[in-house]
Amino acid sequence: MSGRVDGWRWAGRVFLVLILLFTAVPMVWMLLTSIKSQFAAMQYPPQWWPKEPTLENYTKLLDPTNPVGNDFLRYMWNSFYVSLATTVLGVAVAVPAAYAFSRFRFPGRTFLFFAVLLRNMFPAVVFLMPLFILMRWLGLVGTHGSLILTYLTFGLPLSIWLLKGFYDNIPIQLEQAARIDGATRFQAFLLIVMPLSVPGILATSIFSFIGAWNEYVYAATFLNRQDQLTLPVGIQRFFAEFATDWPGLMAATFLMSVPVVVLFLILQRYFVRALTEGAVKS
């Protein structure tokens, strides 16, 4: 009996280790390649551990006087700008929307709430052409505005859903108490509800930031000027020109994933809380 239980347990462990290798090995290989020289990276059989580790690829990318670094830093800034604008605007819209869905009963509430999710039922690519035509009509093709608007339509539904769950879990009596204690409805929201929903707002912010940071298809379609490109598109086009500088490419992708990983590490406890909020009665 116990032997069989142990068998399952070991099978589970082996499975988990395989999954871990599957996800971790490419990242480790990326990191190792990024500190090799161009020559070492192409060697066969491969150098499993770089014989002469170098940070040259990184210094090149982060040096604004170098043309490669200049472009890379510009792409990074573009990505940062677009992602941040998406996040800030998204939160500014999602917070009041989620609060309204959570607290008010108004005609069409249920319909609207599910309509918000409608977009998420289709693959993003389906909307590529319609949105492109719409953006051209709005005169936004070739601007960061087109991307920010598009990313907002992707990120908002999820943000509103997550935040609504958060507000649902804040007892309405807290606001009622505040209003009786002399606060207006808006003050009750600002002074009592907002501080309590900070974890939820942080979690949804990460969601929309990462979504915007990683997006490729729309960025590749809507932007055409070299100096406007965001990182995912920039890295791909940029390195295609120089044949394949694998160590440089790996260094660039590593730098691109740093903000996401850092955000996750710092805010993961809020993140988990947001996703499980309301799952178990406290």
Partner 1 sequence: MAKVTLENVVKTYGPVTAVGDVSFTVQDGEFVALVGPSGCGKTTTLNLIAGLIPISGGNIRIGDKLVNDLDPKDRDIAMVFQNYALYPNKTVAKNLAFPLQMRRLPKDEIARKVAEAARVLDITHLLERKPRELSGGQQQRVALGRALVRDPRAFLMDEPLSNLDAKLRVQMRTELKRFHQDLKATIIYVTHDQLEAVTMADKMAVMNGGTLQQYDSPKNVFDHPVNTFVASFVGSPAMSLVPLRRVVEGDAVALAGDGWQMPLSPANARKALSAKSDTVILGARHSTIALHDGPREGAVPGRVYTVEPTGDVTFVQVHVDGAIVIASLAPDVAVRSDTNVWLGFDQSRMHLFDCETQMALT
Q: Per-residue contact track with partner 1, 123 to 162, x per CB under 8 A?
A: ----------------------------------------
Nearer to partner 1, 105 or 225 (CB): 105
Q: CB under 8 Å, gap of 24 or more: what pairs does 52-60 form? A: 57/247, 57/248, 57/250, 57/251, 58/34, 58/251, 58/255, 60/248, 60/251
Nearer to partner 1, 9 or 269 (CB): 269
Nearer to partner 1, 13 or 185 (CB): 185
Nearer to partner 1, 9 or 185 (CB): 185
Query: Does position 278 bind partner 1 by CB under 8 A?
Result: no
Return the structure tokens found at 164. Answer: 């609504």
Nearest distance, CB of residue 184 and partner 1, angstroms: 7
Count of CB atoms within 10 A of residue 152's CB? 19
Cβ proximity of 224 and 74 under 8 Å: no
Nearer to partner 1, 69 or 199 (CB): 199
Q: Which helix (H) or strand (E) holds 130?
A: helix 128-138
Q: d(Cα 211, Cα 145) in Å, to the nearest integer?
A: 16
Intra-chain end-to-end CA distance of the chain, in Å:
36
Nearest distance, CB of residue 180 and partner 1, angstroms: 5
Nearest distance, CB of residue 270 and partner 1, angstroms: 15
Return the structure tokens found at 209. Answer: 């930031």
Nearest distance, CB of residue 179 and partner 1, angstroms: 4
Q: d(Cα 79, Cα 75) in Å, to the nearest integer?
A: 6
Nearest distance, CB of residue 27 and partner 1, angstroms: 38
Return the structure tokens found at 178. Answer: 């505040």
Helix, strand, coil abundance in the chain, percent, nearest 5: 80, 0, 20
The count of chain residues that interact with partner 1, using the rule CB under 8 A, is 17
Residues in Cβ contact with 277 at an 8 Å cutoff, skipping those fewer than 6 apart: 165, 166, 169, 200
Site for partner 1 in 165-204 (CB under 8 A): 171, 173-174, 176-185, 187, 192, 195-196
Nearer to partner 1, 176 or 224 (CB): 176
| Nearest residue to 58 (alpha-carbon basis) of 43, 68, 48 | 68
Nearer to partner 1, 59 or 176 (CB): 176
Contact footprint for partner 1 (CB under 8 A): 171, 173-174, 176-185, 187, 192, 195-196
